[in-house]
Amino acid sequence: MKHIYRYAALVLLTFTSATAFAQEEDPVSSQKFYICEGYDDEDYNLEKHDEMIFSADGKTLTIGKDVFNIDEIDSITFTKPKFPCIDIHWDGASATVTIDPSITGVTYTTSGGHVYVTCKNTTKELLYVLSGSSSNGSFTLTSGYKTRINLDGVSLTSSIGPAMNIDCGKRVEVKLMKNTVNTLTDFKAPSEDHHKATFNCEGHVEIKGHGTLNVTGLTKHAIRVEEYLKIKQSTGTINILGAVSDGIHCGDGVNTKVEQDADPEDNYFIMNGSDSTVINIANCGADCIDSNDFGSMFINGGIINMDVSQIDGNGLKCDSIIYMTGGKIVANVTGMVSNGIRSAYDMYLEGGTIECNISGNGSKGIRGRRLTAATSTVLRGGYLHFDGTNVKMTVSGGTYTVDNSNCQGIRSEYFLYQSAGDIDITVTNPDASAIYAKSDKWDGVSGTRHIH
């Protein structure tokens, strides 16, 4: 049922009719239409979204800032669809689980506010809707099939482990429902406890939706996924309020090495989005975002704000390739010998903007690290390619006395190449430097450098 052009025409016709009717009668400000994809929908106000734009190849549909793949749209309706779901609502020390009668293969148990769900359905993607609040509650799901989870104003503080623990090797789509605030917190566990994150998934996660997600990790990471994490274009705000270790951690032992020109496919962090897609990260004991085990990073849109205050910490960190084609990264680096952005392989900065304030002694704004074969399975590294990203930095840190390392704006431990984009670095400490590179080639075709 992919008659998108017919539905689009119906939407436009209805909008036109509604507008004409409004001139004679009352306004229709509450009239909405819904884009339906499987067990999911996005609602739009006809007065605010009176234009639907199809791509030239007919493969995508844009409404406001949201982009839909035509093949994934099932229908466009004017009444809110009701999807069969597993509805879980917390009310203090207890939780209520309601399963639609049409759903089979799902069982559950509860212990106070702690909910444990097992799904043996491997033929149909199911929807879980989480709402309510508990100061002693959690959600644990074991499933072998693709899953959708809607966070519909849920607040969970777990006293026994992760607030959300998903054991699923397939894609898990998490939607932050529009105009909702969702909060997840774990507990400060003893040193022998081995739970990995407040929001933990043994699989891969895609986050979407115009709501807000607040996560605090009091034992280890705030958010952890075993494979990849994708922040989709429609995502609202994610606040990592603190973590004992990483704010966001992707990958655990999937990739074993990075070879020359290899592009690991199992582990990665990818961020798409608009100006309203924002990730704020602070108070981390290790890295703000870590694509671990030689995973890659892709920054294509949205805004990432990071406070890097830990000694030897990183804002963005991976031992593989970092690609940036758009968006904005803001890093405030106050921790000593820390890095705003750090890669141990190639870094391709082709668009968007990077802003760094580097005040920690011995710290770096952007660092391309090079490791030898004797110390790492990374067979090369330290390459920085500035091909369109605009960079603005203030470097005020001094020398880290333990190893006599200097504060630097950009450090390439092998090769730095600039062909486009503007680099503007202000150095206010005589012990600091703007750029260090073993080999530096400034093509100057369309890029500039301003060192103050």
C-alpha distance from residue 312 to each of 166, 257, 308, 315, 383 (Å): 31, 23, 9, 10, 21
Q: Does residue 58 belong to any structural domain of this protein?
A: yes
448 belongs to a structural domain? no
In this structure, is residue 89 part of a structural domain?
no
- Residue 56 belongs to a domain: yes
Number of domains in the chain: 1
**Contact (Cβ atoms closer than 8 angstroms) between residue 401 and residue 431:** no
Instruction: Report d(CA 104, CA 337) in Å as an integer.
Output: 54
SS3 call for 95: strand
Range of the domain at 60: 4-77
Indicate the SS3 state at residue 319: coil
pLDDT tens string for the chain (452 positions)? 334 444 444 444 344 333 333 333 344 445 888 887 766 777 888 777 778 888 888 888 888 777 888 887 888 888 877 778 999 999 999 999 999 999 999 999 999 999 999 999 888 889 999 999 999 999 999 999 999 999 999 999 999 999 999 999 889 999 999 999 999 999 887 766 778 999 999 889 999 999 999 999 999 999 999 989 999 988 999 999 999 999 999 986 544 444 444 444 568 999 998 889 999 999 999 999 999 877 889 999 999 999 999 999 999 998 889 999 999 999 999 999 999 999 988 899 999 999 999 999 999 999 998 876 555 555 567 889 999 999 999 999 999 999 889 999 999 988 999 999 999 999 999 999 999 998 888 887 788 999 99
Give CA–CA dist 246/264, Å, rounded. Answer: 21
Q: Is residue 336 part of a domain?
A: no
The radius of gyration computed from the CA coordinates of the chain, to the nearest angstrom, equals 24
Of 215, 214, 211, 212, the residue nearest 198 (C-alpha): 215
pLDDT of residue 42: 78
Residue 41 lies in a domain: yes
Q: Which pLDDT belongs to residue 12?
A: 44
Reported pTM: 0.87
Structure-block tokens of residue 120: 């043996």
Tokens of 2: 């992919």
Is residue 430 domain-resident?
A: no
Q: Cα–Cα distance between 143 and 125 in angstroms, integer?
A: 10
Identify whether 284 is part of a domain.
no
pLDDT at residue 351 in the model = 97
Of 367, 262, 267, nearest in space to 316 by CA: 367
